[in-house]
Amino acid sequence: MINREYVKMLENKDIIFELAAFANKRRAEVGPDNVFDFTLGSPSVPPPDAVHQALRELLDEGDPFTMHRYTSEGGLPETRAKIAEDLNDRFGSSFSAGNIFMTCAANASLAHAMRAVTVPGDKILAFAPVFSEYEFYAKGAGCELVVVPADTENLGIDFDVTERMLDSSISAVLINSPNNPSGLVYDTETIKKLAELLKQKSAELGKTIYLISDEPYREIVFSGTDSPFISNYYDNTIVCYSFSKSLSLPGERIGYVAVNPKAENAELIVSMFGQISRTSGHNGAPVIWQRVLAKVLPATSDVSVYEKNANLLYDALTGYGFECVKPGGTFYMMPKIPGGDKDAFFKKALENDIILVPGDGFLCPDHFRLAYCVPTDIVERSLERFGRLI
């Protein structure tokens, strides 16, 4: 017998990949320069040279027998130590190698974190605009994702509603800053306020509410943006990270979970991750990439183009009259759909070969997402077309 749950999920196709496939079809029809595809969140810059240099060194100088062997549980000690050292240097935290568990990128990190601090039937609280895949990660842990509706003015956290929704059914809170899809970065004041609320609610409800902080865009923050390291403000934080965006390695599947050493049961949670890996079929992150990380950290790709693209789009769109929260990081922004007729707007965008993602999947149905991880000349040539949509 096959599992009907997954068959049912097939009805729920990923709209972003469908739109990206449509963009590919249009590229074949009208030429790649005439399609303005703002759908996929895949980095548009290469990894830094150091990454390929490190790979070459490993292949040329590494012992072909030992290089590919199983790692110990949690990953290579030298990579975990390097990650802890890098976090501590940059954020003044106190991680050690034992707090870091290597994973196959952010979705695996989230799956581990969610399973560690919930039991099936629990609820996980997240905030709209919300990354559409969270629902499935939560489902995989047997949990329900409940989402605080967005404060539609600034797409930030609505604390009054959050306070009401934080009841005894919630075991963990999931936060994503810098945010996909809005590009919003929660500032220090917001993070302090959330931390205070979680401390107060944990005491009131007599349980530890863990904060799962999904941070794959942590290194893509624009100048002048206040971007606090969230774990420094709330001890019971589990950081989920991936090198998909900061090192432009989305297909390599490499990341980590970092448990704040001051979190309740911090050591136990990292050991539990090993067991979660066993039961979920994850079992270890690619060892060659762990070796590369140990050599190249804290390197990142040159992510400056994303800020350039953001400014070009933000200035032009707001100039045309679009309402949009200015992104503080990532390679996304989320303008409001102008004019009130959503269908007419998306139809007109497609007629102009501008491919956009509707905000429905992010629980912001009056907005659309623009992923501007595309060459700057595409952005520049798209601007006049956006003017036709308003």
Ligand X SMILES: Cc1ncc(COP(=O)(O)O)c(C=O)c1O
Give me the residues that bind ligand X (CB under 6 A), please: 41, 105-107, 131, 176, 180, 214, 216, 242, 244, 250, 255
Smallest distance, ligand X to C-beta of residue 108, A: 7
Smallest distance, ligand X to C-beta of residue 204, A: 29
State the residue number with the nearest CB to ligand X.
242
Smallest distance, ligand X to C-beta of residue 216, A: 5
The nearer residue to ligand X, 39 or 171, going by C-beta atoms, is 39
The nearer residue to ligand X, 131 or 186, going by C-beta atoms, is 131
The C-alpha atoms of residue 10 and residue 263 are separated, in whole angstroms, by 38
Q: Which residues contact 251 (CB under 8 A, 6 or more apart)?
A: none
List the beta strands (DSSP E) in the chain: 36-37, 100-103, 123-127, 144-148, 170-176, 210-214, 237-242, 255-259, 332-333, 354-355, 357-358, 368-371
Query: What would the DSSP string read from start to end of 161-210?
Result: HHHHH-STTEEEEEEESS-TTT-----HHHHHHHHHHHHHHHHHHTS--E
The nearer residue to ligand X, 137 or 345, going by C-beta atoms, is 137
120-123's contacts with Cβ under 8 Å and 24+ in sequence apart are: 122/169, 122/170, 122/171, 122/172, 123/169, 123/170, 123/171
Smallest distance, ligand X to C-beta of residue 255, A: 6
The C-alpha atoms of residue 78 and residue 84 are separated, in whole angstroms, by 10
The nearer residue to ligand X, 106 or 194, going by C-beta atoms, is 106
The nearer residue to ligand X, 306 or 345, going by C-beta atoms, is 306
Smallest distance, ligand X to C-beta of residue 124, A: 14
DSSP state, 88? H
The nearer residue to ligand X, 107 or 231, going by C-beta atoms, is 107
The nearer residue to ligand X, 105 or 124, going by C-beta atoms, is 105
CA distances from 374 to 66, 146, 246 (A): 39, 32, 15
Smallest distance, ligand X to C-beta of residue 149, A: 18
Nearest to 73 by CA among 274, 258, 268: 274
Smallest distance, ligand X to C-beta of residue 109, A: 7
Q: Which two tokens mark 91?
A: 């954020």
